[in-house]
Amino acid sequence: MGDAAMYKAVALTAAPFPQALRAVAALTEPLPDFPRLLKSTVPLGSVGAAFAKFVADNGITPLSVSQRVREEVAPLNLVAARYVLVHDMFHVLLGFDISRPGELAVWSFVAEQRYSPSYARAAALARLLYPIAQPSALSALALHRRQAVQLAKVCPCLIGRPLEQYWSLPLQEVRRELGIRKGNDA
């Protein structure tokens, strides 16, 4: 399943903006292995514990990508390859759930941080369609979007951060380091 998601992400995502590509290419390990990390023991309150709770609570299985796909496909669009793996980690770090307002927030954050024109289009499409799909959530959609855009302006290029290295660190400490000042917990 991870290989298919990686192929799809790389095939359907436009070339990344240069600053995002430079940030991801500078990482020691641009393609984290979250399924492997989930097997490790981490302290309560850590990024890893928050991620494990997030995926369990939402019935999400982190993607596992074969070594062949990592080597052959990911270099074609390293930013898209990384984003498909770290999207759920963005939810955890930013403190947004997987509701429509939470998804709009993550897409808005990514669009504002300028990783790829494709992500800006995805955010614009979500801004258009989510209010139609869930008119009862109009105020939450607007609030989450505003919060995400503000976070994106103060947070360093999140896709270029070594997220897997934060695994055993306290979530609140990592959020402070990244400039994420938001009341939501993942």
Q: What is the pLDDT of residues 61-115, one digit of tens each?
A: 999 999 999 999 999 999 999 999 999 999 999 999 999 999 999 999 999 999 9
The reported pLDDT for the residue numbered 132 is 96
pLDDT at residue 43, rounded to an integer: 96
Residues 6+ positions from 142 with CB-CB distance below 8 Å: none
What is the pLDDT of the chain when averaged over all its residues?
95
Q: What is the pTM of this model?
A: 0.94
Q: What is the pLDDT of residue 186?
A: 39
pLDDT at 1: 82
9 sits in which H/E element: helix 2-12
Which of 118, 88, 121 is CA-nearest to residue 106?
88
Q: How far is CA 21 from CA 109, 147, 157, 160, 179, in A?
A: 17, 25, 11, 8, 22
Residues of the chain with pLDDT under 50: 183-186
Whose CA is closest to 140, among 175, 81, 180, 100?
A: 100
